[in-house]
Amino acid sequence: MINVGLLGCGNVGHILARHAENFRIVAVFDIIPDRAQELAALSHAEPYADFDEFLRQDTDIIVEAASVAAVRRYGEAILGAGKDLVVLSGGALADDEFRTRLIEAARSAGRKIRVPSGAVTGLDNLKIGQISPLQTLLLRTTKSPGSLGISTPARMEIFKGMAHECIKQYPKNINVAVALGLAAGREADVELYVDPDVERNVHEIFAEGEFGDIYIRVRNVPSPENPATSYMAALSILTLLKNLDNPLVVGT
């Protein structure tokens, strides 16, 4: 049984607590103590308002489900304490300098940084880009205007450029672009649209290389408790944790 610590006690943490299988949540931390207390009661874990105390607990892996800022603030300390780290807020890894430091911290401690599939699919096959470079890697994301605090009567493009630039403007909304780039070995181009006629976040992935071409379209159902969270993203973490100690590995 794998002992898990949760960094961030929002909607994703609640989903993990309700569906824990092959792992147990033993410690939870949030900068808002009441949120940690609430999730601790649900998961039968111990709540912590002090990060250093949280880090001293008997956990094998820490799941970050908080924010880009939380990854940057706590990531190196988690790895240095001998814990594996699951990063849901992959936008933190868009910063080359920080990503290099985090990888070096993991290497020095003999630990792993794990980035789940999140709100998209296809990351495993996009890894072929690390061997045979992709000529095209594009993420086209469409969201409702309200989710980004925008009012518009018609579909509108609000960003076009590279992932590292998009993440600066929309740090909570484009983590998947960074995950795609990490998998493929090259940065993704991003087109971000708002459309008043869409009810779900839509991610379209275009990839092309010597192997041929890929087109993937994902329409995410929001989490029942928090429309700002993709239910698929939470399920991807559950799947990762469920299979950590499985001797049969499917996919690259």
Contacts of 199 (CB under 8 A, 6+ apart): 144
- Distance separating alpha carbons of residues 163 and 167, to the nearest angstrom: 6
Note whether 76 and 102 are within 8 A (CB): yes
- Distance separating alpha carbons of residues 116 and 16, to the nearest angstrom: 14
Note whether 188 and 174 are within 8 A (CB): no
* 70 marked ligand binding residue: no
Please indicate whether residue 203 is annotated as part of the active site: yes
The identity of residue 136, as a single letter, is T
* 173 marked ligand binding residue: no
> Which runs of consecutive H residues, i.e. helices, occur in 5-90?
11-18, 33-43, 51-55, 68-80
H helix or E strand, kind and range, residue 120: none
Note whether 183 and 175 are within 8 A (CB): no
**Phi, psi at residue 5, to the nearest 5°?**
-110, 140
End-to-end CA distance of the chain: 24
Which of the following is catalytic: 14, 19, 44, 203? 203
Where in the sequence numbering do the catalytic residues fall? Answer: 203
Binding residues: 119, 175
Binding residues for NAD(+): 119, 175
